[in-house]
Amino acid sequence: MDRPGILAETALACGAAGVNILGMQVFAMGKRVTDVFVVSAPEGWTDLDIAHLFESAGGSQVSVTRVDQGATVDSATRYLQGVREVLEDGRDVADVLAELLETEPPDVADYAGHDVLELARRNGSALSISRAGPFTPVEKARAQAFLALTRGAIGTTARVTTLPSSQVPVVRQASLADVEAVVALHDRCSDKALFDRYQVPLQLPMTARMTRRLVAPDNGVALVVQQGDDVVGHGLLEELDGVWTFRLLIQDTHLGGNLETLLVRRAASHAKGDGADRLTLITAESNDKLLRAVGNAGFMARIERRDGSVHISVPLSSMPLGAVHTTG
């Protein structure tokens, strides 16, 4: 609807038909304009009836989607609330977007065809959302911006299932539900363990906001070691320009055991499964425990020292058991 007076004609048509306009927004899309109306119709009206009403008033490419009372709330506020639910409450991105885009199926025959919205996450994966009514350009832009703001958070948000303290440590993929546990892990680690991980002294305590990237990275995967109710180890596997790197942190009370080896093996398996032919582990120069862990995992390694850190590069073509052989 992009000609003068058409909004007035639409309002008159709705009034004559007993359809109440509860809210509307106008979006300029280049040479076209998209008008979004929130309406309530008389009892017995179908989606087709509403579509025909707006088409008869001069609308083109009309689509109708059933909404709940939340649709009368300002759209920007709804989307900002959705971002908070993902980042703070740990809700799944796809579930929140499904609510924001009102993807529940209609109770009438589809008149406009089935539409699939393909959204690109930063890590290259795709999120598909489908609806009987077509998505408008405005909805597509909002959904992509929402995904970017939440950094494409992936994975289940169910709380971690706790394990009895007597059980052996378990290595698993991290999720947003692990934020608090990973913050607590940093609080329990010594300055030495934190320096080995980050190669710089941490001046401030780790916060939940900082930790979100550690459990849901943009380009890779996060791993945790859980023992009982606690996370006692964490590893961050990332890919940048074809180079796969891995950094890990183990609670001091568990250093020197087999947790480092378990994390290294799991990280290597993930990287190889994603097509990597080499993995580089990065740590401080003084961290001999990690070098031993690489050997216990059965890798041959190339060691390089760069600006106060050590880069331990291992080929992933094969993973034979044996000692580490270093060059460099």
Q: In the chain, how many domains are there?
A: 2
Residues 138 and 24 in one domain: yes
In a domain, 156, yes or no: no
Task: Return the beta strands (E) in the chain as ranges.
Answer: 20-29, 32-40, 115-120, 126-131, 170-173, 220-227, 230-240, 243-250, 278-284, 302-306, 309-315
Residues 213 and 94 in one domain: no
Q: Scan for tokens 């999120």, then name that residue.
A: 127
In a domain, 320, yes or no: no
Last residue of a domain, one of 116, 149, 182: 149
In a domain, 263, yes or no: yes
In a domain, 207, yes or no: yes
Phi, psi of 242 (to 5 degrees): 85, 0
- For residue 202, the enclosing domain spans 170-315
- What pTM, to 2 d.p., does this model score? 0.50
Residues contacting residue 70 through CB under 8 Å, at least 6 positions apart: 78, 99
Residues 30 and 96 in one domain: yes
Residuewise pLDDT in 10s, the chain (328 residues): 567 788 889 999 999 999 999 888 777 666 677 788 889 999 999 888 998 999 998 888 787 877 766 666 667 788 888 888 887 777 778 888 888 887 765 444 444 446 777 877 655 567 778 776 667 777 888 888 888 777 645 443 333 334 444 457 888 999 888 888 999 999 999 999 999 999 888 877 888 878 888 998 888 999 999 988 889 999 999 998 889 999 999 999 888 778 898 899 899 988 888 888 999 999 998 788 888 888 887 788 888 988 778 999 999 876 543 333 333 3
Residues 112 and 20 in one domain: yes
